[in-house]
Amino acid sequence: MLVALVGLLVVAAPARAEAPVRIMPLGDSITGSPGCWRARLDVDLRAAGHTNIDFVGTQPAQGCGVAYDGEHEGHGGALVTAVADQDQLVPWLRATDPDVVLVHFGTNDVWSNRSTVTILAAYGKLVDQMRAQKPTVRVIVAKIIPMGTSQCAPCGQRVVDLNAAIPGWASGKSTTASPITVVDQWTGFAAATDTYDGVHPNASGERKMADRWFPAVVSALTGA
């Protein structure tokens, strides 16, 4: 018996869309009140073709004069040491499950005269909690922006001391599976002209911060 197979059509299943990379900005009011460097960064990334991204956090966007993906974990007044001591990051991670975390944190700790050693220990605990949530998380940690206010005259040098210690800490904490990258937000940033109060960035400061984050975030997105 002869059997003819006529018009046999094989249709491939549609490709599954790749999940967006989830990016959590983490910090204090410099990140969240309103933290418009995040808006500049989001717009820049998308303009450069990095559209498969999702900024995440339990905090909503604030108005920055542009449409942007604004969820974040920038908590005004927060100390990184308190967030670590009280395990505040854990529920935020569970709610958002980030792939990349941008950390600019420690300004309030410097103001409160927390030691560099104590701040770095808090960084380490937060990284451990990030890795417990996602072992492959990529962490981008900033040397924080300068402080120049008469309300805390010693803060300028405390920032210098903290920033000087961050690269060594990051090198010792980084792993192949979960690398830590340091972004220098201090060099070239002038508290006198890039902040409105010696602490919080103005429009020029936000622009500088976004520009400094950009290459490190692109590297994280591309696996470079």
Q: What is the pLDDT along the chain (224 residues), one digit of tens a residue?
A: 444 444 544 455 555 678 999 999 999 999 999 999 999 999 999 999 999 999 999 999 999 999 999 999 999 999 999 999 999 999 999 999 999 999 999 999 999 999 999 999 999 999 999 999 999 999 999 999 999 999 999 999 999 999 999 999 999 999 999 999 999 999 999 999 999 999 999 999 999 999 999 999 999 999 86
Query: Strand 53-55 relative to strand 21-27: parallel, antiparallel, unpaired?
Result: parallel
Q: What angle do CA 213, 219, 221 make, to 5 degrees?
A: 100
Categorise residue 113: left if φ over 0, alpha if ψ from -120 to 50, beta otherwise.
left
Give the Cα separation of 183 and 180 in Å (integer).
10
Give the Cα separation of 168 and 89 in Å (integer).
23
* Most distant pair of Cα atoms in the chain: their distance: 98
Is residue 84 assigned to a domain?
yes
Domain containing 56 equals 21-222
147: which residues sit within 8 A by CB, 6+ positions away? 107, 110, 111, 155, 156, 158, 159, 191, 198, 199
Number of domains present in the structure of the chain: 1
Beta strand extents in the chain (DSSP E only): 21-27, 53-55, 73-74, 100-104, 138-143, 180-184
Q: With b meaning 16 or more CB within 10 Å and e meaning fewer, what string describes 81-104? A: bbbbeeeebeebbeebebbbbbbb
Is residue 6 assigned to a domain?
no
Is residue 40 assigned to a domain?
yes
Is residue 43 assigned to a domain?
yes
Name the token pair of 174: 């980084």
Is residue 187 assigned to a domain?
yes
CATH number, position 145: 3.40.50.1110
Is residue 123 assigned to a domain?
yes
Query: Strand 53-55 relative to strand 73-74: parallel, antiparallel, unpaired?
Result: unpaired
> Do residues 21 and 100 touch, judged by C-beta distance below 8 A?
yes
